[in-house]
Amino acid sequence: MGRQINFFLHPDDQNDFNSFLKSFDDICFLSYYHKTENPTIIDDTLIRDHIKEGSRVHLIRKQDLKDIRFHFIEKFNCWLIDNNSSPVLDFDRCITWENYLHRGRLYFQPKFVDNLQWIEKNADFVKWSDFIISKTRRYFKKFKYKYEGSSYEYNAYLSEKAMSLLTDKKAALGLNGDSLTVN
C-alpha cells in the first residue's frame, strides 16, 4: 500500500510550493515523458502546459537516478518511469480546467511485487519520501468538512490561496473531494 498526501495547490501558490520542494537536500525533478531510456531532469515543478508535459512529475534523490526503471509506450513513442519499482516520489500536480482546480498529491510505494515476491524499496528512500510527505502536511493548511447527511469529518489540505477561496465562499469542494469548484 502506498503513502500519500492529497492537496489543492492554487496556481498562484505554485512558485512557493516549488521553492518548498527545492529546499529538500539532494532532490531533483524528472519529467513525466522521456524521449529515451535516460531520465529527463527538469528545473522545477511549475505547470506550463499540462497537455504537453503531463500533470505528473517525479521527485527523486540524485543518488537514486541510476536505479530508475523505464517502460516504453509504443503508441506515444516515449518512455515512462516505472514508478512501482523505481525510487520516485510522484507529484500529481493540481491542474486547473475551466472553473475547477483538481486535487494533486505526493505519492510513493515503499514496496512492490516482482516475480510474485514483495520487494522492499531502499530504506533511505522510504525515509526521505516519508519526511517530504510529513513536511508537506505541515506546509498546507488543514480544512475540516462534512458532507450533508454525513457524520464523518474529512480533511482537505490547501495552499494559502485555495484556502482563501474556500473560507471566502468563492469556491466549494467537489462532491467526492477531488476538485475545488470556483464560483
Q: Has residue 18 got a pLDDT over 90? A: yes
Distance CA 92, CA 66 (A): 23
Strands (E), 31-170: 41-42, 56-61, 70-73, 78-81, 89-92, 96-97, 100-102, 104-108, 111-114, 117-120, 141-145, 154-158
The amino acid occupying position 8 is F
Q: Residue 101's domain spans which residues?
A: 3-182
The residues that bridge with 143 in the sheet, in sequence order, are: 156
**Number of folded domains that form the chain:** 1
Give the largest CA-CA distance in the chain.
52
Q: What confidence tier does 32 reach under pLDDT thresholds 50, 70, 90?
A: very high
Instruction: Provide φ and ψ at 73, rounded to 5°.
Output: -105, 100
Instruction: Give the model confidence (pLDDT) of 34-85 as tens digits.
Output: 999 999 999 999 999 988 888 999 999 999 999 999 999 999 899 999 999 9
Each residue of 110-164: pLDDT tens digit?
Answer: 999 989 999 999 999 999 999 999 999 999 999 988 877 788 888 899 999 999 9
Rg (CA), the chain: 17
Do strands 96-97 and 100-102 pair parallel, antiparallel, or not at all (unpaired)? antiparallel
Helix (H/G/I), strand (E/B), else coil: 62: helix
**Closest among 132, 88, 183, 136 to 80, alpha carbons compared:** 88
